Amino acid sequence: MKKHLVSFTVNNDQYDLLVEPRKTLLAVLRDSIGLTGTKEGCSTGDCGACTVTVDGKSVTSCLMLAASANGKAIKTIEGLSSGSSLHPLQHAFIDKGGYQCGFCTPGFIMASKAFLEENPNATEAEVRHALGGNICRCTGYTKIIEAVMSAAELMRSARQAR
Amino acid sequence: MRDFALFEPTTIEEASSLLAENGGKATILAGGTDLLVGWKEGIATPKSVVSLAQISGLDSIAYDENTGLSIGGMTKMRAIEQSSTIRNRYTALAEGASEVGSIQIRNLATLGGNICNASPAADTVAALLVFGAQLEIASTYGERTIPIRDFFVGPGESSLQHGEIVTRLVCPPRPDNSGSHYIKQKIREVMDLAFIGVAASVELAHGVVADVKIGLAAVAPTPIRATDAENILKGNSLSESILEQAASAAAEQSSPISDLRCSAEYREDMVRVLTKRTIQASAARI
Ligand SMILES: Cc1cc2nc3c(=O)[nH]c(=O)nc-3n(C[C@H](O)[C@H](O)[C@H](O)COP(=O)(O)OP(=O)(O)OC[C@H]3O[C@@H](n4cnc5c(N)ncnc54)[C@H](O)[C@@H]3O)c2cc1C
Ligand code: FES
Ligand code: FES
């Protein structure tokens, strides 16, 4: 089948790739670009492990064709830190022990990032609801929610400091 | 997932001709949240796919006091849920959209896809039924408009002909003294399909029901209106006994099945309970 020229940025780097139409954004990020931080759990939209942001909005990259991401700005877990300085969400997940095996963590962090940027003052109930599309088989969620709430506070103070 | 030829037209005309040229073999792609799951599971293996994503103007939401609400077929669930116009005036639709999957799914899933997939349990259809949505449909044969009530034929089946594109949905303006609500009966708070979905829209004048519409999802082969219940309510005040009568009539009009999720008896009884609750909540919003 005819390949499509797809141009997008991933973590601010420009990519121009020839992709088969059937390739999902997830497959292209992992296999063509080599960014394996984004995980594949279910591949049917149910687990959230593949969450990335596209133009700032969180999506399950397993259900989006790479061709549909043409012209868009994509962010993955690899683009979160600046140099050796971690994003508040990354700090908080480490401090609060918001992970065990870590497989679900990139998805939780990217989903939380998009949500907190839209809702900086979200309550715990709102955060729990917003993360309903992310599944963790290890932690029991308590530590994850603690981490996200603590990150929200860090993000608010960082915003005030600016 | 098998490979396919992907077309990305930039106008409706171009999309319609591509669909016509490719005969019965071309599939319309919107957000892909229903389609990609099916393709991956091998339920369908499309040869050609026509994406609507590059057609501009298909994802806009507009409201006019005289003509009502107009929503493009490619509008994302998340945009519907966050639209202040829809939240204020067509509350049940915003609530229905907010019930679809997760935020990540709602950033991909479109209104057109939710309708055209024709699932009896689709979360936006009960609301669209009560708001009397008209579907604007385009193809190489021209344009036609049909009420959403006539759109569904059976589970997964609609009256859409091959090559037809749902371009917009139009809902008539809302009177000021009206309110609406959608309740989805489910086990998990999010990421669960509706056991039952009930939407209502109530218009009151001097304490009596001037108009009422009730939409039921997942309790019949297609989404339906509970017209018997509507007739009982019209012209009456919302007394306990009238509400009970109407709720029982709604349950009577449903024809649910038993499946893994719950029994037909449970569904029918819950239609009664939820119809009453939905009407009360709609009236409380006025
Ligand atoms: C994890 C997960 C959870 C979900 N949860 C829910 C839920 O809670 N409630 C719910 O209602 N749904 C749910 N869904 C189903 C799905 O997300 C919705 O039905 C969604 O709205 C489909 O829209 P789409 O744009 O993704 O459609 P697509 O997958 O792109 O298309 C669906 C169908 O409609 C046709 N189509 C799409 N747009 C048009 C158009 N404009 N004109 C003509 N034909 C068209 C396509 O050809 C296809 O047959 C879920 C799906 C997933 C993967
Ligand atoms: S891998 Fe995409 S949601 Fe599970
Ligand atoms: S930490 Fe293992 S799946 Fe969440």
Beta bridge partners of B72: B168
**Nearest-CA residue of chain A relative to B188?**
A132
Cβ contact, residue pair B104, A45, below 8 Å: yes
| Torsion sign (Cα): A133, B219, B112, B22 | positive
In ligand 2, which atom is closest to the CA atom of A135?
4
One domain for residues A67 and A131: no
> CATH number of the domain that A117 lies in?
1.10.150.120
One domain for residues A68 and A124: no
Averaged confidence pLDDT in chain B:
96
Give the pLDDT mean for B22-42: 93
pTM of the model: 0.97
**Nearest-CA residue of chain B relative to A51?**
B104
Which DSSP letter does residue A41 get?
Answer: S
How many angstroms separate the Cα of B115 from the Cα of each of A47, B158, B269, B271?
24, 9, 26, 22
Q: Where does the pLDDT of residue B187 fall: very low under 50, low under 70, confident under 90, or very high at 90 and above?
A: confident
In ligand 1, which atom is closest to the CA atom of B110?
25
**Residue A83 pLDDT more than 90?**
no
Give the pLDDT mean for A103-128: 98
User: CB contact, 8 Å: A40 with chain B?
Assistant: no
Q: Give Cβ neighbours of residue A56 (< 8 Å, ≥ 6 apart).
A: A73, A75, A114, A117
> CATH number of the domain that A21 lies in?
3.10.20.30
Residue A97: predicted pLDDT: 97
Match 């994302």 to its residue by tokens: B76
Residue B260: predicted pLDDT: 87
Q: Which ligand sits nearest to residue B156's alpha carbon?
A: 1
Q: Where does the pLDDT of residue A40 fall: very low under 50, low under 70, confident under 90, or very high at 90 and above?
A: very high
Nearest CA distance, B116 vs chain A (angstrom): 18
Per the structure, the count of domains in chain A is 2
Residue B27: predicted pLDDT: 96
First to last CA, chain B: 49
Residue B1: predicted pLDDT: 86
Nearest CA to ligand 2 atom 3: A45
Give the ranges where A31-141 is alpha helix by DSSP (H).
Answer: 88-96, 105-118, 124-130
**Residue B23 pLDDT more than 90?**
no
Find the CB nearest B4 among A1, A54, A57.
A1
Pocket test for ligand 2, best of A60, A64, A103, A136 (most atoms within 8 A of CB): A60
| Interval B203-261: pLDDT, tens | 999 999 999 999 999 999 999 999 999 999 999 999 999 999 999 999 999 999 999 88
Residue B22: predicted pLDDT: 86
One domain for residues A92 and A75: no
The fraction of chain B above a pLDDT of 90, given in percent, is 93
Residue that is last in its domain, among A61, A79, A97: A79
Cβ contact, residue pair B6, A132, below 8 Å: no
User: CB contact, 8 Å: A115 with chain B?
Assistant: yes
Q: What is the C-alpha to C-alpha distance for residues A108 and A93, in angstroms, rounded to an integer? A: 10
How many angstroms separate the Cα of A157 from the Cα of each of A120, A151, B78?
11, 10, 28
Q: Give Cβ neighbours of residue B160 (< 8 Å, ≥ 6 apart).
A: B116, B137, B151, B166
Q: Are A24 and A62 in contact (CB under 8 A)?
A: yes
Q: What is the C-alpha to C-alpha distance for residues B286 and B106, in angstroms, rounded to an integer? A: 28
**Residue B195 pLDDT more than 80?**
yes
One domain for residues A15 and A53: yes
**Residue A1 pLDDT more than 90?**
no
One domain for residues A131 and A109: yes
In this structure, of B88-92, B110-114, B193-197, B212-216, the range with the lowest mean pLDDT score is B193-197
CATH number of B188-284, picked from 3.30.390.50, 3.20.20.60, 3.40.30.10, 3.40.50.720: 3.30.390.50
Residue that is last in its domain, among A23, A45, A79: A79
Give the pLDDT mean for B5-16: 97
One domain for residues A24 and A75: yes
Domain boundaries, chain B: 5-51, 61-171, 188-284
One domain for residues A72 and A96: no
Rounded to the nearest angstrom, the distance between the alpha carbon of A141 and the centre of ligand 3 is 9
Q: Are B116 and B157 in contact (CB under 8 A)?
A: no
One domain for residues A123 and A151: yes
**Nearest-CA residue of chain B relative to A111?**
B104
ipTM: 0.98
Q: Where does the pLDDT of residue B100 fall: very low under 50, low under 70, confident under 90, or very high at 90 and above?
A: very high
Q: Which ligand sits nearest to residue A49's alpha carbon?
A: 2
User: CB contact, 8 Å: A110 with chain B?
Assistant: no
One domain for residues A100 and A135: yes
Class of the domain covering B61-171:
alpha beta
Give the pLDDT mean for A69-76: 98
- Tokens, residue A134: 């992310």
Q: Where does the pLDDT of residue B162 fall: very low under 50, low under 70, confident under 90, or very high at 90 and above?
A: very high
Residues of B in contact with A60 (CB under 8 A): 102, 104-105, 108
Cβ contact, residue pair A67, B51, below 8 Å: yes
Residue B54: predicted pLDDT: 96
Match 């708070």 to its residue by tokens: B189
| Interval B106-141: pLDDT, tens | 999 999 999 999 999 999 999 999 999 999 999 999
Residue B24: predicted pLDDT: 72
Q: Give Cβ neighbours of residue A110 (< 8 Å, ≥ 6 apart).
A: A38, A51, A52, A53, A58, A75, A76, A77
One domain for residues A63 and A104: no
Residue B25: predicted pLDDT: 81
Record: fold of B5-51: 3.30.43
Find the CB nearest B49 among A21, A63, A130.
A21
Cβ contact, residue pair B37, A45, below 8 Å: yes
Residue that is last in its domain, among A79, A99, A129: A79
One domain for residues A104 and A41: no
Residue B172: predicted pLDDT: 98
One domain for residues A110 and A67: no
Give the pLDDT mean for B177-193: 93
Residue B225: predicted pLDDT: 98
**Residue A146 is part of which domain span?**
88-161
Residue A41: predicted pLDDT: 98
Residue type, position B178, single letter: S
